[in-house]
Amino acid sequence: MLLTRGLEERLEILLKQGHLVGSVYRSLGQEATAVGSAFALGPGDWLAPSIRDMGALFVRGLDVRDMLRQYTARGTSLCAGKDNITHFTVPELGLLGPVSPLGTQLCVLNGVALAFKQRRQPNVCMTYQGEGASRTGASHEGFSLAAALDLPIVVWLEHNRWAFGTRSDRQSAVEDWLDAAAMYGVPAESVDGNDVTAVYAGARKAVDRARAGGGMTILVAETYRMHGHAQHDAQKYVPAEELEEWRDRDPIDRCEVALHETGASAEELAVIRREVAAELDLAVDDVLAEPGPEGEEARTRVYASADLDALVPWTRGPVPGYGDLAPHLRAEA
């Protein structure tokens, strides 16, 4: 959680310094849902984060440099500079990235879960969507198919109250988002999304059930998006008292209190904070020294065959059969 928050704070600074391409999408206030849930997965399992679940990626073994490379559009990034944020897929780490049209990712993760089931492989998939994303047709189709086919998958419905600038009561008439999960006929539970141990416990139960052949579980994380949609969003539509109320439930503060209660000393926690800061210092220095992609790489990797990719560029080059000059000019030259 500290790594997530620390990296996002660095990213905001790097954005102001002009090092980033695009904006920063914070998971402020939601770090516990991503981090606690990812700890419930085991080797060979797959995880499909939304843009606000960066913390889950680090739990699954992603290097913070990879996130920095994404945000700085480096040629060395997992998307080779062709896409941003958490939009990468890394089979070796069991990570499936989202695309911006929401709800679609669940449909794709279903295919991974289907493969696990077909191969009798005891692995599990986990994914996340905000309550806004869950209103898309693709999301509904994804839930329906996963439930009907009894797939080993755990889906978090992150009820973070805001989808960009729209409050969750404009996404659905349900008051309790558990009711939105009820129609799929699979086990569903509500979890305090700002309590990392409660998140872990809920995830663990669901993951164990899926691994044992019990199929899909939907978990509703009650949480709050403490930042605007992205850096350009000053969140003017959010009542100040609501933010105050949820600031008191900050997942990192609550975790610290819990750690103190179980005997961790202030010094131990300070050491963790220093280590995180040092790791981020190093990572930022490394990544800023790495090169961006060359422009002509824009035409590569469209197809598996480089021969097909080679058909792309001539819109900018000589016309096949003609060369650089039109025939009458060529005759004069």
Partner 1 sequence: MSELRETTYLEAIRDAMAEEMRRDDRVFILGEDIGAYGGAFKITEGFLDEFGADRVIDTPISEAAIVGAAIGAAHVGLRPIAEMQFIDFIAPAFDMIVNFAAKSRYRTGIGAGLVIRGPCGGGSRSGPFHSQNVESYFANVAGLKMVAPATARDAKGLLTAAIRDPDPVLYFEHKFLYRRVKEMLPIDEEIVVPLGVARTHREGSDLTIVTYGGMLYKTAEAAEAIAAEDGAEIEVIDLRSLRPLDTDAIVASVRKTGRLLIVHEAARFGGFAGEITAQVSEQAFEWLDAPVRRVTALDTPVPYAPALEDYYLPQVDDITAAARWLLAY
Which residues form the interface with partner 1 (CB under 8 A)?
Answer: 78-80, 82-83, 87-89, 91, 96-97, 99-101, 104, 106-115, 117-118, 137-138, 141-142, 144-145, 148-149, 301-304, 308, 311-312, 319-322, 327
d(CA 283, CA 89): 21
Nearest alpha carbon to residue 102 among 113, 121, 114, 87:
87
Helix (H, G, I), strand (E, B) or coil at 244: helix
Residue 277: burial class (beta carbons within 10 Å; 0-12, 13-18, 19+): middle
66: number of Cβ within 10 Å: 23
Smallest distance from the beta carbon of 25 to partner 1, in angstroms? 17
Rounded Cα distance between 220 and 25, Å, is 21
Of residues 149 and 174, the one with the C-beta less far from partner 1: 149
Token pair 């904006």: residue: 23
Please state the φ and ψ torsions of residue 291, each to the nearest 5 degrees: -80, 155
In angstroms, the CA 27 to CA 44 distance is 26
What minimum distance in Å lies between the beta carbon of 98 and partner 1? Answer: 10
Could you tell me the smallest distance in angstroms from the CB atom of residue 5 to partner 1?
26
In the complex, minimum distance from the CB of residue 302 to partner 1, in angstroms, rounded to a whole number: 5
In 3-state terms, the chain is what percent helix, strand and coil (to 5)?
Answer: 45, 10, 45
Nearer to partner 1, 212 or 311 (CB): 311
Q: Nearest approach, Cβ of 323 to partner 1 (angstroms)?
A: 12
The smaller minimum CB distance to partner 1, of residues 100 and 166, is found at 100
Distance CA 210, CA 190 (A): 17
Which DSSP category does 303 fall into? Answer: S
Q: Please, which residue, 112 or 198, has the CB nearer to partner 1?
A: 112
| Nearer of residues 132 and 251 to partner 1, judged by Cβ | 132
Q: Of the two residues 148 and 258, which places its CB atom closer to partner 1 in the complex?
A: 148
- Taking the complex as a whole, how short is the minimal distance between the CB of residue 145 and partner 1, in angstroms? 4
